[in-house]
Chain A
Amino acid sequence: MLENPGDAAACGGYDLVSETVPESDREADFARLVLCQQGRMLRSIWRVVRDPDLAEDALQNALTILWRKLPALARHPNPEAFVLRVCLNAACDQLRARTRRRRRTVPLDDGHGAACVARAELSQESAVLEEVREAISRLRRREATAILLRALGDESYQTIARSLGCSEVTARVHVLHAREKLQRWLSHLCRPSRKEASS
């Protein structure tokens, strides 16, 4: 679902495997990778934050992290999954920062009332979106990445495992835990997942 067919068309493959290549070549490889993946990167970030400013900040952070981790990216068995994970992490970090900022701005003595007033001003869909985003920001980083890759990207557990750098079983556990937590926190909005019950 995060895939954009247009991205893959111009991407004949990028070679990040060599750390001994000159700096200019590495920059070119990095640029090629980012340009090939930019569609997925932008959509994955947008779907989580859904705010232009937050999306821009998350993208900037993701690019900086990717550039800094270029050697690790070169060794990674699935660079695309690695990129996606970094983007989702950056997006979730922005959500967490936003949640923290909001908590700081709401007075403690009148916190409940202010939140209720603010919530009433939002439409029903916005209120649901707000709750979902807050719930995602409360998840652990790996759990958030795993559930978002699974639910939004329809990624296989193998891809999720490679992205997180763990075993497939661990990836399943992360997804399961994330689902359980979201189910608990958003119980008024959703029902227990049938998939999890069967698996």
Chain B
Amino acid sequence: MTMTERTPGSPPDVDTLLRTTLPNDLPPDVETRLRNRIERFLVDRRSGARNGLAAVPWFASVSAWADAWRTVRVLRVAASAALVVCGIALHTVGRPGVFAASMLRMNESVTLWETVRRASSMRCTGVAQDEFASPADLANSVYRHWVLVDSAFVPTEAATVLTFQSPGERAQYKLVVDPSSRLPRRIVKTWLSGATPRDHLAKGYDASCTWEMPAGDDEPSATEISRTGR
């Protein structure tokens, strides 16, 4: 049934309409043309054709250059992707990285050293007086001998507690720093494992300190002391 045979009174259904409108009548010349196209496609796919082209020196050099350029581009894309992933990972970690933390601790150390060095005199209870005769002694220890390993605000103390370790004498110092004066009001010393303390310091100490600042200094002249012996 063709379109011309269809009577107006009886239209075909969809399938019949498709069959009659799109008949199977591939013209021979078109078929030949399409078969040639297939043949050309298959010839192009044969590896022999590519090798034949590669035999031409200039084509081989251009091909090698293109391959190298493609490799470089792939490497660049990979490196860029890795950097983007690293950036996202650093942001998603949610806390300062190791490098940032060490910088923060160094800043706190320097601030303490600077404040202590500016003080005109200090007085600590107990055995701490033997160790730190003057603010310069304590500042020197903070600057040269101690390493700040932890820093945290302690609500019960209403102060920041800086934890230093002294690798030379295998000891740990906890300095309770007053938030207003930024000077240590307590120094707690404990020994680390492997230490060989002198007899009278065998248990460490918990000393309270008072400070005097030079006249005209903006910083508070003294801190209130709470004495707790150990």
Contact A195–B13 (Cβ < 8 Å): yes
Q: Is A63 an interface residue (CB 8 A)?
A: yes
Q: Is A155 an interface residue (CB 8 A)?
A: no
Contact B31–A42 (Cβ < 8 Å): yes
Chain A residues in contact with chain B, CB under 8 A? Answer: 1-2, 23-24, 27, 30-31, 34-35, 38, 41-43, 45-48, 50, 52, 55-56, 59-60, 63, 67, 124-125, 128-129, 132, 147-148, 150-152, 179, 182-183, 186, 189-195
**Bound complex: CA of A23 vs CA of B48, how far in Å?**
11
User: What is the size, in residues, of chain B's interface with A at 8 Å between Cβ atoms?
Assistant: 29
Query: 1/0 contact trace for B1-33 toward A, CB 8 Å?
Result: 001100000111111111101111010001101
Contact A59–B14 (Cβ < 8 Å): no
**Bound complex: CA of A60 vs CA of B42, how far in Å?**
11
Nearest-CB residue, chain B, relative to A30: B45
Nearest-CB residue, chain A, relative to B35: A38
**Bound complex: CA of A34 vs CA of B45, how far in Å?**
12
Return the contact of B22 from the options A41, A42, A47, A190 (Cβ within 8 A).
A47
Contact A38–B38 (Cβ < 8 Å): yes
B35 to chain A, nearest CB (A): 7
**Bound complex: CA of A48 vs CA of B23, how far in Å?**
9
Contact A43–B24 (Cβ < 8 Å): yes
Q: Which residues of B contact A27 (CB under 8 A)?
A: 45-47
**Bound complex: CA of A45 vs CA of B24, how far in Å?**
10
Contact B41–A63 (Cβ < 8 Å): yes
Contact A128–B12 (Cβ < 8 Å): no
